Structure 1
Amino acid sequence: MSGSALKIGELAKMTGSQVETVRYYEREGLLPAPHRSEGNYRLYDLTHVEHLQFVLRCRSLDMTLNEIRELLKFRDSPEENCGAVNELLDHHIGHVTTRIAELQSLEKQLKKLRKLCGQSQKAKDCQILQGLSKPQSTKARKLASHGPGCH
């Protein structure tokens, strides 16, 4: 084991994450299994810290767990050609571009709905509530079924 042994709470604190996040990434295979103490405590080292920081950075960029798994394969095989990494990132950029367009459409719909009611009044007369009762467009249904952040 390289470096000093860290318990799970120390690893979480060092990386600005939560203990349950560490356990989750372990279960998902994104973080190598830690060594165990004689008392069966998880013991991590600086390699785990670096690995978890990589995963957390990828998540902060809204990458899926599968995308992160692919990137980790390349990170762990430094002699491999990184062409697939470029393709993965290009695909992710396309996904982000699509989500931005969907969110801009959502913003327009919400602003249009908000303009229906310019003053406080009885709920029975609220144009926003009436507007929400109308069937939505196909595009709006698609956005609602996927929800923000889903892949």
Structure 2
Amino acid sequence: MRTVNTDGRVTIGVLAERTGVNIPTIRYYEEIGLIPPAQRRPSGHRVYGAAAQELLTFIRSCRDFGFSIEQVRALVSLSHDADRDCVEARDIAQRHLDQVRHKLTELRALERSLVRFVTSCTSACAGGPAPKCTILKDLGRAAAATAAPPSCCA
């Protein structure tokens, strides 16, 4: 049963619905100290106040942008500390942006390779027997190249 108490506290199910964060994740965030432990009813059920909903909404937004748990932890800490400079938040975001850009570069290279595979198959072997497919041969060569030990004299 998902309920809201008269004092505004909500059960974990209601909190999950309101924030879009699933129940096991909420429990995990409590376990790792990303959010404070819930208050407990006499029955032992968790209940949360408005602050937990705001915090989880913030955390979900951070995670949607791909920030790691440790980056989220730092951003949460910054969001509650008026004595710290917002440059810290900018630096965290900049490092994450750099990581995203690096990953995009890797993905573009992967895309180029896949385009070559598909184009090669279309022009050389499409419709033929699968074992003769240029994609399968190219993938085999790529796997062999990455498994080869590095040359000591290169």
Using the size of structure 2 for normalisation, the TM-score is 0.82
The one-letter code matched in structure 1 to 2:57 is: Q
* 1:67 to 2:74 alignment: no
Alignment length, in residue pairs? 136
Distance in 2, matches of 1:99 and 1:132, equals: 21
Q: How many percent identity over aligned positions?
A: 29
2-side partners of 1:113 and 1:42: how far apart? 53
Counterparts in 2 of 1:3-18, with a 5 A limit?
Answer: 4-18=8-22
The code of the aligned residue for 1:29 comes to G
* Larger relative contact order (CA 8 Å, sep ≥ 6): 1
Deviation at 1:22, TM superposition (A): 1.1
Instruction: Please point out which of 46, 49, 52 is paired with 1:48.
Output: 52
CA distance in 2, matches of 1:87, 1:15: 27
Question: Which of the residues 61, 85, 88 maps onto 1:84?
Answer: 88
* Aligned partner letter, 1:96: V
1:148 alignment partner in structure 2: none
- Among 101, 108, 112, which residue is 1:97 paired with? 101
Gaps of 5+ in 1: 139-151
Which whole-Å CA distance do the structure 1 matches of 2:43 and 2:132 have between them?
66
What do you get for the CA RMSD once the two structures are aligned? 1.5
- 1:64 to partner: Cα distance: 0.5
Unaligned runs of 5+ in 2: 1-6, 147-154
> Using the alignment, how far apart are the partners of 1:15 and 1:133 within structure 2?
46
> Which structure is larger by alpha-carbon Rg, 1 or 2?
2
Report the counterpart of residue 115 of structure 1 in structure 2.
119
State the match for 1:131 in structure 2: 138
Q: 2:24 aligns with which of 20, 38, 41?
A: 20
